[in-house]
Amino acid sequence: MQTAAHIGSTIVIKGELSAREDVTFAGRIEGSIHVDGHALTVAPGANVVADIHAAEVIVRGRVFGSVTADRRIELGATAEIEGEIAAPVVGIADGASVAGRVDTQAARRSVLQLAS
């Protein structure tokens, strides 16, 4: 079983983070995150000012930007999101904060179009 790449809490990125493996992000990023075919975890205490796209996204920190997932998005109790969320499946735990739009339909249509 492959472990996720871990980007620590003291790391600051200004620009694009791109990966083809599971990633756990605990630092600060201003830009964009694209994790092709794998999961991204935004750890508690992480500050993300970026648009995110991944197969699966788990948020336990702060995100200011759009979050799009091919399969699912999970918001933990410590998650704070300001922006649009789009995935076929979205789970929101008690205590999570979302200021923006949650869209499960558009993402589901995209998945169905790819399967056709």
Q: Per residue in 14-70, pLDDT tens?
A: 999 999 999 999 999 999 999 999 999 999 999 999 999 999 999 999 999 999 999
For residue 3, with 0-12 CB atoms within 10 Å meaning exposed, 13-18 middle and 19 or more buried, which class applies?
A: exposed
Q: Contact 90/106 with Cβ under 8 angstroms?
A: no
Tens digit of pLDDT for each residue in 62-81?
A: 999 999 999 999 999 999 99
Q: Is the confidence at residue 92, as pLDDT, over 60?
A: yes
CA distance 33 to 18: 6
User: How many other C-beta atoms lie within 10 A of the C-beta of residue 8?
Assistant: 10
Residue 113 has pLDDT above 90, yes or no: no
Residue 93 phi, psi dihedral angles, 5° rounding: -80, 155
Structure tokens that stand for 13 in this block: 């990125």
Angle CA(73)–CA(75)–CA(77) in degrees, nearest 5? Answer: 165
User: Whole-model pTM?
Assistant: 0.88
